[in-house]
Structure 1
């Protein structure tokens, strides 16, 4: 039952993010890259494994063990600044 609600939650996040204007998703992407010290080339390599930025954000949230809302929030600070390696290993 919990798995189903988790899937539902992800679907709702996905739908909400897909309604965002493209430039807003770009801002979120840059924010994520800054917060995680992830270079653009590494980020785009990760994106190629996913359908689009929205799926990448959801994957990042899972890896970072936070909510997508936290990633979207420009004031949110990740607890561990050395996350790039973990992110790339888990998403790739």
Structure 2
């Protein structure tokens, strides 16, 4: 993996690198490899991950087909500015 540093902005390059590593799952894999995992525990974990992926895919498909309603976004709620005058 390669990240270019522009205008000597190393901080931005580090942020980009961390984001790419996160997206690739490198940090997660490092955490899993930190300790030995028994083969039976690995099978159970991988099965649970597969179930989670399948449920997520089925939920997205149902939303696309209109069978269920999409969850409401938290960002869509109007943000109220704090009042400068405090009521007593």
TM-score, length basis structure 1 = 0.32
> Whose helix fraction is larger, Structure 1's or Structure 2's?
1
TM-score, length basis structure 2 = 0.33
Between structure 1 and structure 2, the one with the greater Rg is 2
Higher relative contact order (CA 8 A, sep 6+): 1
